[in-house]
Amino acid sequence: MSDTQQQNTARLDEEEARRQLLELAEEFYDQFEAGDIPEMTLPTRTKSNIVFDEEAGVWVYGDRTSTRSANSVRGARKLLKAVYAVEFLAQQLDEDRSSTLRELYYLSESWDSEEAQFTSQDESNQLIEDLEIVSGVTREDFHMRPEESGAKVMGPLLLREQTRRGDREIHCQDDVGQGGYQIPNNPDTIEFLDNDAEFVLCVETGGMRDRLVENGFDADRDAIVVHLGGQPARATRRLTKRLHDELDLPVVVFCDGDPWSYRIFGSVAYGSIKSAHLSEYLATPEARYVGIRPQDIVDYDLPTDPLSDSDVNALESELEDPRFKSEFWTEQIELQLDIDKKAEQQALASQGLDFVTDTYLPERLGEMGVL
Amino acid sequence: MTSFQSTLGEEEGIADELAASQREISIAEFFEKNKHMLGFDSGARGLVTAVKEAVDNALDACEEAGIPPDIYVEIREAGDYYRLVVEDNGPGITREQLPKVFGKLLYGSRFHAREQSRGQQGIGISAAVLYSQLTSGKPAKITSRPKGESQAQYFELIIDTDSNEPEIKADEPTSWDRSHGTRIEVEMEANMRARAQLHDYIKHTAVVNPHARLELREPGTEEPLKFERGTDQLPAETSEIRPHPHGVELGTLIKMLESTESYSVSGFLQEEFTRVGKKTADKVLDAFRDRYFGREMAWATPDSLDAEAVVTAAVSGKGSDATETFAGRVAEALDSAGRLAHHELVRLVADAAETAQESTGKTFGDTVRANTVDAVWTGMTAARVDAAGRRVDADDDAEADDAESVLRAPLVALVDDATSSQKDDAVVTGLAERLAADVAGLDDSRHRLTRARLDRLVDDAADRMVEFDEVTFGDTARENVADALWTRMATVPDDVPNVSEVAGDRDTASSLLEAMRGTDILAPPTDCLAPITAELVEAGLRKEYDADFYAAATRDAEVHGGDPFIVEAGIAYGGDLPAEGQVDLLRFANRVPLVYQRGACATTDVVKSIGWRNYGLDQPGGSGMPNGPAVIMVHVASTNVPFTSESKDALANIPAIEDEIELAIREAARELKSYLNKRRSMQKRREKQDVLGRILPEMADKVSAVCGRDRPDIDGALARIMNNVSVEREYDEGAVRLVVENHSDRTEELDVTDIVSVEPADVPDDAEVVDLDGEWFVKWTPSVSGGDEAVLEYRVSDSDDAEFDVNVDGVETEKLTVNA
């Protein structure tokens, strides 16, 4: 793909995004004209309304929908805000600018209608998600980005990124510092040029990522180490998916051994409930879980903490979660409930700083057939 | 104590000494000491009470004469005193009666009448006269002109406080501009500190007497307070009723018995009481017999009784054929009879004797009959039977040991039925056996017992069983057994004592009273009462209170102590009523406002006990007086309103009356609740309309800006959102179209009036055109079901200058969107 082509595609996407957004406004207009009550129909965004898409191997929204209608004061306020947000986003696309979700929240303060102003950032975030769903355009294409940018990548990978100061070619080991390569908000502006990687290793905590980099794991094992940083940003998940799909690299996820970390894995592999409309775009169903497994706590006799009540609730809720209805997870979660213990990634240090790179990961990855 | 007694002993004649200071107290002296009981405890209150008494009398007099009352009250300062004048347009009072009416306490027409009226004791107005005379020393000046008289008569009166007789100071004819009526003028020590109560009294009187016109002039105000008539309808005339059997006391009953002209109790009851005819009198008499004579136990004929043999043995000297016939008759009759009491057996035997006499020609006289009755009764009640129920002769020693009383089996069955299933067989048979023995041992072999004796009998048997068998047998079980026995017993046919015998014996009279009270008797007739009626309660409230909502309820008549009463309640809410603080409670008794002692009144207690939050009124703490812009009124009408004191300020706490007050208030309150609910939902709807009315236009503006198109028409969407009814006009070169769209889920009936400045043409049949001075009213009343629309089309001749103004009724404004 040449530079100009890339530019054109992006431009076209912007045009398309703008058109799709305006279509929504047109729809409201037509509803008004017909004497109908303006409304907007969305899939119900709850755990009970996500279904497994066999073809794509990801979890997507089911067929249950909820309607936001101007019938009620609440619904009317939401729709009014939606129209104001559409206008703002259309204008932003027109001017080829971008803003953050938080900026949108504050920006609403300047709108002439008090009713249209957001009362909390959750509200504006949710509205953007609603707009993504009804327009079929991702928020990255609206030029909306989260406040905190995507996480970092370290590994034998050469890529080209379109930046405001032109395209840059970057090697994710040689051209970056200890911190690694910063994933941009819209990873679709990246083009992969070359790589020597064997697999992608997503790591939950910053501490563990630094440990792996310090121990030279990425170089020794030809691993692309992606730092998730808690619940991964959409950019991180999108990049991971592209690394898997475009470079055909196996993806493994390395987290703490507690229910919250399983959810992090879940959102990488299966998609999250909030963004199930983007599962096909964000989720990497082939991703596999390295650890820490409850089994590891037993096998490696790791230092542990007892499960709290909320941990137990979360585990039990995961047993009900359709995304975790696999033999592996049922077994592991039940084992964890049984031993009533959880362990952090750093617990591996109890057997020495090199234990994770020299013993644990090679053993686990060997078992999984990655190494 | 001892010292006092020794003094008593030492000094002879102390009783004489005491007697010297014992003398009659005149009613006036009594009044002077007990002014507060009559509502004259202070100058402020005395004035209000005097006004009240005079106005009550005036209203009563007018109503009795069927004259719509027109009452004038004037209070004026007169030196150190206040002068009170009350004038009415009533029928007037005759020259002979007048001095007594105003100048004698406890003189009146009402005290002895069971009929609803304001005054009851004949104290009120004469007490006011007495109070003025005691405080100012001046006589009462009374003018009265009876209807049809050519002149009025003027009196000056004082009350002789020793004799309680009027003393006439002046008595002369005078001229008066009223054609009939009465005027009273008194001067008294008073002050206007109770002005609020005075106004309350007058205003509340106007509320419950919408047929009356009232005017009050008082010092310190320029204009008189005037309360105009709200209706020409006078209260229904009341008629006097005789006492109700449930409502007399023993003393009254004895007095009535002594003075009646009836000979028999039955006649007395039918003559002197309301709601008692022959049937009811018979019911009362049966109840009286039960109490006076007691009932007789009835027994079934046992299998062990060989009636023919027993009767044959008891008859002698009548020849075997005749005896056989008689015995056969008796046995036959016994067979077909159910349980028999002694007196029933006597009648049965007598009947058999009569028929046997007819067919055989032999006479079966009293002796034979008595012997027969004895023999059969003994067989029925005193025989002993073995386990199989066969009769055992007393001299048959071999079997006598196991023999039981013939009464045992039926009593076991009865006790078993009457007690709970938890009692085991030993207890049941234990009690039944003891009862059988006790009954058999009664002095009166007829087994005749009063209820009290029966209870004692059961108690004794149960006590012995508890003591010897060490089992428990509680009060309820005893009562159940006694009840079961009592229902099985038969009322005796004995003749009841006559009136003079009953009157002569206190216990007998008491039994009669109990019988009267224990018999179900129709509630007294209510034509002695004149309720205001729900309609006029509401009219009265409407007249005096500017509120948004009114409700009223009138209950059916109930009885308390033989006096019928009716409770009415009304509620006014919202409007100009003050929203702050407690609701206003208006209390009335026989159309008289009660202005003092609110806290002591049963009405207040009832209002406080109701959970007003249920009915949409604020009630701090969930009990007590509710808060809010409301007036609650309660009217109790009765032939005898139970007050807590003679000053008639507060209703006594009588449960029967309190219950009715509560039901009446709740009935009215339910209407209030649905009104408030509706109002609340309307308010929500209005709020929603307000917010949406702001949001949707903004949304439409923004949408049109974003799309770059003209602003869309959002009225249709708005109407639909509000479940509204929209009325829209389309106009095209003289063609007028009015479109009614009903977006609600129920049918709406509309009154649409289109006011057009030019003459309309081609108006369809379902619309009507009225020409009013160059304006044409096109009236159209479509019925539009939910989700439907209706269209009115017509033409106007001159399309250029036509002006339209549409007016839509029949739909609440909150639900209506007019765009025409």
| Complex confidence, ipTM | 0.72
Same domain, B455 and B568: no
Query: Left if phi > 0, otherwise alpha if psi is -120 to 50, otherwise beta: which for B470?
Result: left
How far is B539 from B531, CA to CA, in rounded Å?
14
Q: Do A26 and B707 make contact, defined as CB atoms within 8 angstroms?
A: yes
pLDDT band at B217 (very low <50, low <70, confident <90, very high): very high
* CB B791 within 8 Å of CB B762: no
Query: Is residue B431 one of the residues assigned to a domain?
Result: yes
For residue A336, what are the contacts with CB-CB under 8 A and spacing of at least 6? A257, A259, A294, A297, A307, A315, A342
Contact B96, B104 (CB under 8 A): no
Could you list the residue range(s) of the whole structural domain that residue B345 is in?
A: 298-391
A200 SS3 class: strand
| B7: pLDDT strictly greater than 60 | no
Touching check for B739 and chain A: CB below 8 Å? no
For B297, the token pair is: 């136990």
Instruction: Kindly list the residues from chain A whose CB atom is less than 8 angstroms away from the CB atom of residue B704.
Output: 29
Q: Smallest Cα–Cα separation from A268: which of A249, A257, A252? A: A252
Of A35, A72, A116, the CB nearest to B698: A116
Contact check, Cβ <8 Å, A37/B714: no
Q: Say yes or no: A188 and A284 in one domain.
A: yes
State the distance between the two ends of chain A, measured CA to CA, in whole angstroms: 33
Which residue numbers of B belong to the known binding site for ATP?
Answer: 57, 88, 109-110, 119-126, 648
Residue A2 confidence (pLDDT) above 50:
no
State the Rg of chain B over Cα. 41
> Taking the alpha carbons of B708, B709, B710, B711 in that order, is the dihedral positive or negative?
negative
User: Which residue from B minimizes the CA distance to A77?
Assistant: B695
Considering the domain architecture, whether residues B190 and B63 belong to the same structural domain is answered as yes
pLDDT at B402: 66
Query: Is the residue at B58 inside a domain?
Result: yes
For the segment B30-39, the average pLDDT, to the nearest whole number, is 77
pLDDT tens digits for range B82-139: 999 999 998 988 888 888 888 777 666 665 566 667 765 556 788 888 888 888 888 9
B182 or B681, greater pLDDT: B182
Beta strand pairing status for A166-171 and A144-145? unpaired
Do residue B694 and residue A115 have CB atoms under 8 angstroms apart? Answer: yes
Chain A contact for B711 (CB, 8 A cutoff) = no
DSSP secondary structure of A114-175: GGGS-SSHHHHHHHHHHHHHHHT--TTTTTEE-SS---EEESSEEEEEEETTEEEEEETTTS
- Tokens (6 digits) for B198: 């005075």
Least CB–CB distance from B702: residue in A73, A77, A83: A83
**Are B713 and A71 inside 8 Å of each other by CB?**
no
Residues of B in contact with A79 (CB under 8 A): 699
**pLDDT reported for residue A4:** 38
Q: How confident is the model at residue B657 (pLDDT cuts 50, 70, 90)?
A: very high
Of A32, A113, A116, the CB nearest to B703: A32
SS3 A79: helix
The larger pLDDT score, comparing residue B413 to residue A149, is at B413
Q: What type of residue is B27?
A: I
Q: Which residues of chain B lie closer than 8 angstroms to A34, CB-CB?
A: 716
Measured CA angle at B128 (ends B122, B130), to 5 deg: 95
Task: Tell me the pLDDT of chain B averaged across its residues.
Answer: 85
**In the beta sheet, which residues pair with residue B736?**
B731, B794
Predicted local distance difference test score (pLDDT) of residue B122 = 57
- How far is the CA of B382 from the CAs of B374, B391, B394, in angstroms? 10, 11, 11
Return the bridge partners of A52, or none.
A59
- Taking an 8 Å cut-off on Cβ atoms, the answer to whether B706 and A25 are in contact is yes
Final residue in a domain of this structure, among B197, B227, B257:
B227
How many residues would you count in chain A?
Answer: 371
Residue B213 pLDDT:
92
A267 pLDDT higher than 70:
yes
Residue B35 lies in a domain: yes
Give B508's pLDDT tier (boundaries 50, 70, 90). very high
| Domain identity same for B580 and B641 | yes
With CB atoms and an 8 Å threshold, state whether B698 touches A90: no
Do A84 and A177 have their domain in common?
Answer: no
The reply to whether B160 and B263 lie within a common domain is no
Q: Same structural domain for residues A158 and A173?
A: yes
Q: Sign of dihedral through CA atoms A161, A167, A168, A171? A: positive
Alpha-carbon span A270 to A280, nearest angstrom: 9
Q: Is B734 in the A-facing interface, judged by CB distances under 8 Å?
A: no
Contact B703 A83 (CB under 8 A): yes
Looking at the structure, do residues A140 and A13 belong to the same domain, yes or no?
Answer: yes
Whether omega for the bond prior to residue A190 falls within 30 degrees of 0, making it cis, is no
Burial (0-12, 13-18, 19+ Cβ within 10 Å), B520: exposed
Which of B15-19, B25-29, B545-549 ranks highest by mean pLDDT? B545-549
Instruction: Please check whether residues A279 and A237 belong to one and the same domain.
Output: yes
Q: Which residues pair with B570 in a beta bridge?
A: B552, B633
Q: Which pLDDT belongs to residue B395? A: 58
Using an 8 Å CB-CB cutoff, list chain B residues near A29.
703-704, 707, 709, 712
What CATH number corresponds to the domain at position A12? 1.10.10.10
Flag whether residue A94 sits within 8 Å of chain B, measured between CB atoms. Answer: no
Q: What pLDDT is stored for residue B115 in this prediction?
A: 66
Phi, then psi, of A220 in degrees rounded to 5: -65, -40
For residue B302, the cross-strand partners are: none
Q: Tokens in use for B252?
A: 């009254």
The DSSP element (H or E) to which B384 belongs, if any, is: strand B384-385
Instruction: Identify whether residues B566 and B646 lie together within a single domain.
Output: yes
Give the end of a domain, one of B368, B391, B414: B391
Residue where a domain stops, chosen among A145, A165, A198 = A145
Is residue A167 domain-shared with residue A33, that is, in the same domain?
no
Decide which of B811 and B546 is more confident.
B546
- pLDDT band at A11, cuts 50/70/90? very low
Structure tokens at A124: 């504006």
Residues of A in contact with B720 (CB under 8 A): 35-37
Instruction: Verify that A185 and A54 share a domain, yes or no.
Output: no
The verdict on a CB contact (< 8 Å) between A86 and B706 is: yes
Q: How confident is the model at residue B2 (pLDDT cuts 50, 70, 90)?
A: very low
Mapped onto helix, strand or coil, the DSSP state of residue B778 is strand
| pLDDT value for B661 | 94
What is the pLDDT confidence band of residue A5, given thresholds at 50, 70 and 90?
very low
Any idea which residue has 């003289």 for tokens? B734
pLDDT class for A6, splitting at 50, 70, 90? very low
Mean pLDDT of B703-715: 84
Whether B8 has a pLDDT exceeding 60, the answer reads no
Q: Any CB–CB contact under 8 A between B716 and chain A?
A: yes
Checking if the pLDDT of B724 tops 80, the result is no
| Least confident among B6-20, B252-266, B329-343, B729-743 | B6-20
Q: How far is B720 from chain A (nearest CA, A)?
A: 7
How large is the average pLDDT for residues A59-63?
Answer: 80
Q: Considering only the beta carbons, identify the residue of B688, B702, B713 that sits closest to A33.
A: B713
Residue A131 and residue A167 share a domain: no
Domain C-terminal end among A119, A145, A171:
A145
Q: Residues for chain B: how many in total?
A: 820
Q: How much of chain B exceeds pLDDT 90, in percent?
A: 21
Domain assignment present for residue B708? The answer is no
* Contact criterion met (CB below 8 Å) for A200 and A290: no
Residue A278 pLDDT: 81
Listed residue (A66, A99, A87, A108) closest to A21, CA to CA: A87
Domain boundary residue, one of B346, B369, B391 = B391
Q: How far apart are CA B141 and CA B133, in angstroms?
A: 11
Q: How far apart are CA B131 and CA B125, in angstroms?
A: 10
Query: Is the same domain home to B431 and B383?
Result: no
Integer angstrom CA distances of residue B48 from B31, B52, B168, B189, B190: 17, 6, 26, 12, 9
Strand runs labelled E in chain A: 39-43, 50-53, 58-61, 65-69, 99-100, 144-145, 152-154, 157-163, 166-171, 181-182, 190-195, 199-203, 223-227, 251-254, 288-291, 305-306, 341-342
Domain for residue B330, yes or no?
yes
pLDDT (mean) for B313-333 = 85
Q: Is B201 helix (H, G, I), strand (E, B) or coil?
A: helix
Write the CA distances from B272 to B95, B242, B490, B500, integer angstroms: 34, 7, 29, 15
How confident is the model at residue B236, as a pLDDT? 78
Q: By the 8 A CB rule, do A174 and A134 touch? A: no
Angle between the B506-518 and B278-292 helix axes, to the nearest 10 degrees?
A: 130
Name chain B contacts of A115, Cβ cutoff 8 Å.
691, 694-695, 698
Average pLDDT score over chain A: 83
The answer, yes or no, to whether residue B685 has pLDDT greater than 80, is no
pLDDT at A125 over 50: yes
Answer whether A68 touches B (CB < 8 Å). Answer: no
Residue A361 CA, chain-centre distance (Å), reads 24
Q: Is B708 on the interface with A (CB under 8 A)?
A: no
Can you spell out the DSSP letters for B763-777?
--TTEEEEEETTEEE
| Residues pairing with B550 in the sheet | B572
* Per-window interface: B 683-702 vs A, CB < 8 A: 688, 691-692, 694-696, 698-700, 702
In this structure, are B151 and B167 located in the same domain?
yes
Cα–Cα distance measured from residue A41 to residue B220, given in angstroms and rounded to the nearest whole number: 73
- Of A118, A145, A172, the last residue of a domain is A145
Give me the mean pLDDT over the B573-595 stretch: 89
What span, in angstroms and rounded, lies between the C-alpha atoms of B301 and B378?
Answer: 11
Dump the DSSP string for B308-340. HHHHHHH--SS-HHHHHHHHHHHHHHHHH--SE
Q: CA of A89, closest CA in chain B: separation in Å?
A: 11
**B108 and B125 share one domain:** yes
pLDDT bin (cut points 50, 70, 90) of residue B342 is: very high
Q: Give the pLDDT confidence of A299-337 residue by residue, as tens digits.
A: 888 888 888 888 888 888 888 877 788 888 888 999 888
Among B706, B709, B717, the residue with its CB nearest the CB of A37 is B717
> Taken in order A325, A331, A334, A336, is the CA torsion positive or negative?
negative
Chain B residue with CA closest to A113: the answer is B698
Count up the domains in chain B and report the number.
Answer: 6
Domain total of chain A: 2
Interface contact flag, A80 B698, Cβ < 8 Å: yes
Q: Catalytic residue among A61, A105, A106, A270, which? A: A106
CATH of the domain at B589: 3.30.230.10
Question: A167 and A285 share a domain?
Answer: yes
Percent of chain B past pLDDT 70, that is, above it, reads 94
**Residues in chain B closer than 8 A to A33 (CB atoms):** 712-713
Clarify whether residues A212 and A283 are in a common domain.
yes
The answer to whether residues B618 and B662 touch, using CB atoms and an 8 Å cutoff, is no
Higher-confidence residue of A324 and B144: namely B144
A360 annotated active-site:
no
Which residues constitute the domain of residue A30? 3-145
Judgement on whether residues B302 and B276 belong to the same structural domain of the protein: no
Entry pTM: 0.58
- Do A117 and A236 have their domain in common? no
**Of the partner residues B692, B703, B705, the one whose CB lies closest to the CB of residue A73:** B692
Rounded distance between C-alpha atoms, residue B352 and residue B358, angstroms? 10
Task: Give domain status of residue B13, yes or no.
Answer: no
Residues A188 and A62 in one domain: no
Measured between its terminal Cα atoms, the distance across chain B in Å is 100
Q: How far apart, in whole angstroms, are the C-alpha atoms of residue B315 and residue B165?
A: 79
**Same domain? B274 vs B416:** no
Query: B486 and B505 share a domain?
Result: no
B709 close contact with A: CB closer than 8 A: yes
pLDDT average, residue stretch A77-85? 88
Domain membership of residue B7 (yes or no) is no
pLDDT beyond 80 at B719: no
Handedness of CA A315, A318, A324, A325 (dihedral sign): positive
B118 & B160 share domain: yes
Which tokens go with A191? Answer: 């083009």
Q: Which residues of A touch B699 (CB under 8 A)?
A: 28, 38, 70, 76, 79-80, 83
In-domain check, residue B33:
yes
